[in-house]
Amino acid sequence: MEVICRLCFSSVIFICVVSAHYESQLPFIRKCCPMDKYFHRRKCVDRTANESQLLTFLENYQVIINDTCPKDASRIRLVNNFDILSNGSVMFLDKWNNSYVLGYTDFCVDNIDKESFIDVLCCRRIERPRSREKDKTYSLGEFSKIRYHCS
């Protein structure tokens, strides 16, 4: 509830009452940094302006402050081709135009480096490098004992 109350810099008490009444109807969304900060050079820094497009946008959501990803995932910035949906999820296209939809637990929104744009950091699992043993290349001679059955 405290985070919701911070969404508006004026009339805080009114916003808190309204948020408490509609709390169960608003979708969740994660913000990477606290409400009074934005993401700059991989750190949360103080905002220079009291109003921003992001803060106005977040008034339609229950905001959770959290930028962490699971241990086996990394944060990746979505640069283009994404939409934040009204249900609190994000839809994006990869470089092959495959479409993905992530729930609010798998991404966070914030201003990154500039306070004028809404950006998305998503949690994506990155394949670990394979070991040499798993990637062994066999010469054709090593497979000479394989039997082929032709019908």
Predicted confidence (pLDDT) per residue in 54-103, tens digit: 989 999 999 999 988 888 888 889 987 899 999 999 999 988 889 999 99
The parent domain of residue 29 ranges over: 2-126
133 within some domain: no
139 within some domain: no
H-helix segments, the chain: 2-5, 12-22, 53-57
138 within some domain: no
What is the domain count for the chain?
Answer: 1
pLDDT-above-70 percentage for the chain? 66
Predicted confidence (pLDDT) at residue 129 exceeds the cutoff of 90:
no
Predicted confidence (pLDDT) per residue in 109-127, tens digit: 999 888 788 999 999 886 6
135 within some domain: no
Given this model, what pLDDT does residue 71 score?
84
Give the pLDDT band (50/70/90) at residue 133: low
Residue type, 62: Q
Q: What is the CATH number of the domain that holds 66?
A: 2.170.180
Given this model, what pLDDT does residue 114 score?
81
Given this model, what pLDDT does residue 33 score?
94
Q: What is the DSSP string of 72-94?
A: TEEEEEE-SSEEE-TTS-EEEE-
131 within some domain: no
12 within some domain: yes
Cα gap 7→124, rounded to integer Å? 28
